[in-house]
């Protein structure tokens, strides 16, 4: 007899993802969906889609979804969670959305200790609009708005969101993960699940930063893009748990 050991998560709809071939937005969607399914909370989950390539994620997650204006996902999630405290609430935001136009909303939601989960997809670029520089673009990285490579003098250093949010007292759980190989995909899922578990235990704000690829705007094959994450991105954005207010307490 054979048994199924892997199949599409029930946390995803049957819609075909709108992402480019090999884009790891798809892997991250699967992990969020699998966690919600395994925790048995799909029926009471409300996700907040942001603006960016994942703007259509309301078609892909098999739970209630709300679309927020660019950068405002954490403000919208605050309203949803406060009026429906029994719901599981998450935002799904890119680095343009969260680290640039939405940085204020995100910081203040963390500072208030809002009890929801942020899935922060850091692909070091604005994907949807054609590959412009993001606050997270690496030094030397060429984009359409930094054709000679990002320079510290002109553009400042890339912002490390996880480290920055770890300084906020009421942020409960902050971790940076990656999905560039099987081992890291497994670990990323563990961290996302822990974030949702904390929310279910009313432990407050959690943010999981996931290093992700944009093969199209990076100008690489999907596999080479995964290797670029491993060789270049992780150097500047080290993986790990940056804050856990409840570990050993």
Partner 1 sequence: MAKGRIEFDYGKCKCCLLCTKFCPTNILVLDTTKINEKGYNLIRVTEAEKCIGCAFCAMMCPDSVITVYRLEGSKV
Ligand X SMILES: Cc1ncc(C[n+]2csc(CCOP(=O)(O)OP(=O)(O)O)c2C)c(N)n1
Residues that bind ligand X (CB under 6 A): 51-54, 70, 94-97, 121, 123, 125-129, 134, 214
Angle ∠(210,211,217) on CA atoms, nearest 5: 130
The window from 139-147, 158-166, 179-187, 213-221 that contacts ligand SF4 (CB under 6 A) reads 213-221
Q: Are 89 and 81 contacting, i.e. CB atoms less than 8 angstroms apart? A: yes
Residue 216: contacted member of partner 1, ligand SF4, ligand X, none (CB under 5 to 8 Å, by partner type):
ligand SF4
- Residue 246 as a binder of partner 1 (CB under 8 A): the answer is no
Tokens representing residue 233 in the block: 């991105």
The residue among 96 and 204 lying less far from ligand SF4, judged by its C-beta, is: 96
Distance CA 32, CA 39 (A): 11
Using a 10 angstrom Cβ sphere, with 0-12 exposed, 13-18 middle and 19 or more buried, the burial of residue 169 is exposed
Nearest-angstrom CA–CA distance, 96 and 81: 24
96 binds ligand SF4 (CB under 6 A): no
Q: Which is nearer to ligand SF4, 117 or 143 (CB)?
A: 143
Separation between Cα atoms, residue 221 and residue 38, nearest integer Å: 32
Strand, helix or coil at 192? Answer: helix
* 27 binds partner 1 per the rule CB under 8 A: yes
Going by the DSSP 8-state scheme, the letter that residue 135 receives in this structure is T
Residue 209: CB minimum distance to ligand X, A: 12
| DSSP assignment of 140-187 | T--BTTBTT-B-HHHH-PPP-HHHHHTT-TTEEEEEEEE-SSHHHHHH
Position among 150, 181, 206, 240 found at the interface with partner 1 (CB under 8 A): 181
Q: How many residues bind partner 1 (CB under 8 A)?
A: 32
Q: For residues 4 and 153, which CB has a smaller minimum distance to ligand SF4 in the complex? A: 4
| Binding flag, residue 25, ligand SF4 (CB under 6 A) | yes
Residue 134's binding partner out of ligand SF4, ligand X, partner 1, none, with CB under 5 to 8 Å set by partner kind:
ligand X
10 binds partner 1 (CB under 8 A): no
Looking at residue 97, what DSSP letter applies? I
Q: Is 193 in the site for partner 1 (CB under 8 A)?
A: no
Which region, judged by CB under 8 A, interacts with partner 1, from 63-71, 115-123, 126-134, 214-222? 214-222
Q: Does 90 bind partner 1 (CB under 8 A)?
A: no
The radius of gyration computed from the CA coordinates of the chain, to the nearest angstrom, equals 17
Which residue, 162, 165, 164, 167, is CA-closest to 178? 162
Residues near ligand SF4, by CB under 6 A: 19-20, 23, 25, 53, 123, 127-128, 214-217
Residues near partner 1, by CB under 8 A: 1-9, 12, 16-17, 19-27, 29-30, 181-182, 185-186, 215, 221-223, 226
């Amino acid at each position: 007899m054979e048994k199924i050991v892997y199949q599409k998560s029930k946390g995803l709809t049957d819609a075909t993802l709108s992402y480019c071939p090999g884009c790891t937005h798809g892997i991250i969607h699967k992990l969020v969906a699998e966690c919600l399914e395994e925790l048995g909370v799909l029926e009471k989950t409300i996700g907040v889609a942001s603006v960016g390539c994942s703007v259509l994620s309301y078609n892909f997650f098999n739970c209630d979804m709300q679309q927020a204006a660019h950068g405002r996902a954490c403000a919208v999630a605050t309203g949803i969670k406060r009026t429906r405290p029994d719901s599981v609430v998450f935002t799904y935001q890119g680095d343009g959305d969260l680290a640039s136009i939405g940085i204020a909303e995100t910081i203040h939601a963390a500072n208030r200790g809002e009890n929801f989960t942020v899935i922060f997809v850091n692909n070091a670029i604005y994907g949807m609009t054609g590959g412009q520089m993001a606050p997270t673009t690496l030094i030397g990285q060429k984009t359409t708005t930094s054709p000679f490579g990002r320079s510290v003098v002109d553009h400042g250093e890339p912002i490390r969101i996880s480290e920055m949010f770890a300084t906020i007292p009421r942020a409960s759980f902050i971790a940076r993960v990656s999905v560039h190989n099987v081992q890291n995909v497994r670990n990323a899922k563990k961290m996302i699940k822990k974030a949702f578990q904390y929310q279910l235990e009313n432990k407050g704000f959690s943010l999981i930063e996931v290093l992700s690829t944009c093969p199209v705007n990076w100008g690489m094959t999907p596999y080479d893009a995964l290797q670029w994450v491993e060789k270049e991105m992780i150097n500047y954005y080290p993986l790990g748990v940056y804050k856990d207010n409840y570990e050993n307490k």
